[in-house]
Amino acid sequence: MKTYRIAVIAGDGIGQEVIPAGIDVMKIAASQAGFTCDFTQFPWGSEFYLKNGRMLDADAVDQLMKFDAIYLGAIGDPRVADHISARELILPLRQRLRQYVNLRPMRLLPGITSPLAGRAAADIDMVCVRENSEGEYCGIGGRLHAGTPDELAEQTGIFTRRGIERIARYAFTFARTRPRKMLASATKSNALQHAMVMWDEVVGEVAKDFPDIEYRKYHVDALAARMITAPQTLDVIVASNLFGDILTDVGSAISGSLGVGPSGNINPDRTTPSMFEPIHGSAPDIAGKGIANPIAAIWAGAMMLDHFGERAAHDGILKAIEGVIGNAKVRTPDLGGTAKTADMTKAVTAAMVAR
């Protein structure tokens, strides 16, 4: 029987509550589809930092290389500065494991009310393919004359032809798997005359290899507005690191709750493990109360199984999620109900077993 080895970093806050839910669901999906998942837990995160002065073991990347994928909960703790928790765990893993694609479905599930008036599930079904390894978040720059009136800061964005071409190619290929076969590229070539002009040139060149995809480019500000005013006209979106970061927050806001959206940090070359996580953070305000919505983590688990090529297992989990959210009987407080994390998880597993 095929076995997938999965490294689990449940991390901080509600990560510790929603990741076990995702594991329970994946185990059922695996047994239904005829494969097994072997989960290995790692204690990394803010608690680990407070004890050991580091977010990860020094050889964490070497340890993780032995796995088929990484299942991450959330990283963030009020006792640890954000630039330490994110910069020393999530960003190095994304970069060292060459997870150059950040894949973010932005879908309004049937049964959830969007803050956009009059919009239903059929109107909001987008996926953002965000460049995850370079661009505006490459970290190059510095500060000079700190604390003086002459202080200056420089933050450099790095865009490479190779980096743009591979994210564009992934996005076009991904668009081919979708019924509408559309790709929107987020640019700002009217103001960023070097990087974004090159972005447009390279994406345009890749587009020639995909004549079956309806390709359009939009300035990122107009695209953000379009996500609000005409989300039904958008399907797959390809964006740089910063633009994708902002657009996906718009996407998750119009999709209802933060507790629902998943994401994947993917190395399409498959030479290193990819990493799947809910989009929400550690939610310290509700951590420990057992009321976090586990759907985002469960959906992230489904994406991981899809990455392994286990499409039927992915689809089974998604059907169960849609059923539970759609019938509105079991809802955590973020969706207006009173259910606990465990109730929601039980409802999803029951829906899977009932199929």
Out of 259, 273, 316, 323, point to the residue binding ligand ATP (CB under 6 A).
259
Q: How far apart are CA 244 and CA 280, in angstroms?
A: 16
* Residue 282 near ligand ATP by CB under 6 A: yes
Residue nearest to ligand ATP (CB): 281
Residue 221 annotated to the active site? yes
- Tell me 274's DSSP state: E
Beta-bridged to residue 8, according to DSSP, are: 41, 71
Binding mask 284-303 for ligand ATP (x = CB under 6 A): xxx-----xx--x-------
Catalytic residue among 125, 245, 334, 343: 245
69 to 108, contacts with ligand ATP by CB under 6 A? 74, 76
The answer to whether 315 is a known catalytic residue is no
**Nearer Cβ to ligand ATP (124/283):** 283
| Spatial distance between the Cα atoms of 335 and 112, rounded to a whole number of angstroms | 8
Site string for ligand ATP, 8-47 (x = CB under 6 A): ------x---x-----------------------------
Closer to ligand ATP by Cβ: residue 56 or 171: 56
Active-site annotation holds for 235 = no
The encoded tokens of residue 308 equal 């392994």
Q: How far is the CB of 293 from ligand ATP (least distance, A)?
A: 4
Place of tokens 């987020």: 186
Instruction: Determine the Cα–Cα distance for residues 179 and 107; give it in Å rounded to an integer.
Output: 15
Number of residues that bind ligand ATP (CB under 6 A): 18
Given the residues 12, 125, 188, 306, select the one marked as catalytic: 188
DSSP track, 90-124: IHHHHHHTT--EEEEEEE--TTPPPSSTT--GGG-
Residue 215 bears catalytic tag: no
Would you call 123 a catalytic residue per the annotation? Answer: no
244: contact with ligand ATP by CB under 6 A: no
- Closest Cα to residue 19, out of 34, 31, 37? 37
User: By CB under 6 A, is residue 154 in contact with ligand ATP?
Assistant: no
Beta bridge partners of 84: none
Strand partners, 158: 135
**What are 42's two structure tokens?**
């790692």
Determine if 256 is a binding residue for ligand ATP (CB under 6 A).
no
String of b and e for 247-269 (b: at least 16 CB within 10 Å)?
bbbbbbbbbbbbbbbbbbbbbbe
Of these, 22, 244, 281, 316, which contacts ligand ATP (CB under 6 A)? 281
What is the contact surface with ligand ATP in residues (CB under 6 A)?
14, 18, 74, 76, 258-259, 280-286, 292-293, 296, 332, 334
The residues annotated as belonging to the active site are: 137, 188, 221, 245, 249
